[in-house]
């Protein structure tokens, strides 16, 4: 999401290439297979589960739903199938037993890969309490065409797997399972109706080249129209501070040098996803897609796994108090 406003470059999709993991590696080096299975546990491919029999992609699988990709932007081919199409947005994903059992986390992958095809719909204004704003935007991209919408889905799926492994019930606002959107007011409503214990919207910024680093956006105290963030300002700040601290520790990334005064924290009152939330919620801009050094991180599958891990550990810290 561009910090400056809703104007972004057009979507430039790239056709991913698959690569396979040979059986020989799994036979000769059991440790490598074990490492792969650990990766599959944390790099969710939109519904796949390690350990099931191989199968082809379901014809009903949404063409907009990307799987986690490697450092070269190629889709990682899992040894296990995708058993079914992704559940509709707002539907709880299965949770395992663990320390977060009973906790609900809503993950909001920013934008949508199909938004650029539906400009009329996403340019429609919606009420965000303080004013009216575009339903959604296309998002930004790196100079090489790796889109924010693709990035956010990949990190969100990795984050979902990590939280599920600890027993949390995880819901998405969208999982590449709809042609566009949802609008920012609906994204907030999904978290509210889920009575989420924590909600996070994942983004990457489109600031000027040379601007680097991440920042977490916290809700301002807003009481206007349909918006009343007063009950969630304090817990949202706690959530945001924990995510920022863990993001630095796990990824090694520094707080943004162009906003937030070096704290990695920014308070805003112009984002419908925050203004309309009645549950603790923050946004995270994981880096600046327009800076070549940040873009090298954002396009790395290994770094995106670290990003998901850092966000996860911040959420876990918040939920466990």
Place of tokens 């995270």: 284
Cα-based torsion angle of the residue sequence 122, 128, 132, 134 in order, rounded to the nearest 10 degrees? -20
In the annotation, is 285 catalytic? Answer: yes
Instruction: Please tell me the distance from the alpha carbon of residue 106 to that of residue 90, in angstroms, as a whole number.
Output: 8
Distances (CA, A) of 39 to 32, 127, 158: 11, 41, 10
Indicate the SS3 state at residue 132. strand
Handedness of CA 203, 206, 209, 215 (dihedral sign): negative
Q: Measuring CA to CA, which residue among 139, 105, 136 is closest to residue 123?
A: 136
Nearest to 66 by CA among 91, 48, 92, 51: 48
First CA to last CA distance, the chain: 30
Do the strands 169-172 and 104-109 form a parallel or antiparallel pair, or are they unpaired?
parallel
Q: 88 Cβ partners below 8 Å, 6+ apart? A: 177
Q: How wide is the angle at C-alpha 76 spanned by C-alphas 74 and 77, nearest 5°?
A: 125
Task: From the candidates 148, 186, 241, 285, give the one annotated as an active-site residue.
Answer: 285
Q: Which residues pair with 202 in a beta bridge?
A: 109, 284
Residues shown for the chain: 321
Q: In the structure encoding, which two tokens stand for residue 111, read together? A: 């934008």
Active site residues: 285
């Amino acid at each position: 999401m561009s910090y400056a406003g809703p104007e972004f470059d057009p979507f430039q999709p790239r056709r991913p290439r698959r690569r396979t993991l040979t059986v020989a590696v799994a036979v000769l080096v059991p440790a490598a297979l074990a490492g792969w299975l650990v990766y599959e546990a944390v790099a969710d491919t939109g519904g796949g589960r390690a350990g099931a029999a191989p199968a082809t992609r379901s014809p009903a699988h949404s063409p907009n739903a990307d799987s986690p990709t490697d450092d070269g932007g190629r889709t990682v081919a899992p040894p296990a199938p995708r058993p079914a199409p992704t559940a509709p947005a707002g539907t709880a994903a299965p949770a395992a037993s663990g320390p977060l059992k009973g906790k609900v986390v809503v993950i909001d992958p920013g934008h949508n890969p199909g938004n650029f095809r539906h400009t009329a719909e996403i340019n429609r204004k919606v009420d965000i309490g303080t004013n009216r704003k575009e339903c959604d935007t296309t998002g930004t991209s790196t100079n090489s065409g790796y889109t924010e919408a693709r990035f956010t889905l990949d990190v969100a799926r990795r984050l979902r797997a990590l939280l599920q492994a600890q027993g949390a019930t995880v819901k998405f606002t969208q999982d590449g399972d709809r042609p566009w959107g949802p609008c920012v007011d609906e994204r907030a409503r999904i978290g509210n109706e889920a009575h989420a214990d924590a909600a996070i919207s994942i983004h990457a910024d489109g600031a000027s080249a040379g601007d680097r680093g991440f920042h977490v956006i916290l809700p301002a105290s807003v009481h206007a129209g349909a918006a009343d963030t007063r009950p969630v300002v304090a817990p949202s700040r706690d959530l945001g501070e924990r995510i920022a601290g863990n993001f630095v520790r796990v990824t090694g990334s520094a707080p943004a040098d162009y906003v937030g005064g070096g704290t990695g924290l920014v308070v805003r009152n112009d984002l419908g996803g925050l203004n309309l939330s009645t549950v603790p919620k923050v946004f995270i801009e994981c880096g600046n897609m327009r800076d070549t050094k940040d873009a090298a991180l954002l396009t790395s599958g290994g770094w995106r796994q670290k990003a998901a891990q850092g966000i996860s550990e911040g959420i876990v810290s918040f939920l466990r108090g």
